[in-house]
Amino acid sequence: LDYGATREMKSYEDYAEGMRRLVVLAIDYTNTMKPIADIAASEKVCVFSFTI
C-alpha cells in the first residue's frame, strides 16, 4: 500500500498487491500485540474471517 497516495492504482494487480500487503501487515500487527497461540478460538475465527 502506498500510504502517501503518490502512486495511482492502474490495474487490479496493483489493488490485489496492496490488499495482500495490508493483510500481512494486519497479521503481523496482531502477532506483535498478542501471540496467536494466546488468542481465544472465537477471536481467531474473527481475525481469520477478515483476512481471507
Task: Write out the chain in H/E/C secondary structure.
Answer: CCCCCCCCCCCHHHHHHHHHHHHHHHHHHHHHHCCHHHCCHHHHHHHHHHHC
Domain ranges across the chain:
12-51
Question: What is residue 30's predicted lDDT score, i.e. its pLDDT?
Answer: 73
Residues of the chain with confidence (pLDDT) below 50:
1
Question: What is residue 28's predicted lDDT score, i.e. its pLDDT?
Answer: 80
Question: What is residue 9's predicted lDDT score, i.e. its pLDDT?
Answer: 74
CA angle 5, 2, 8 (to 5 degrees): 55
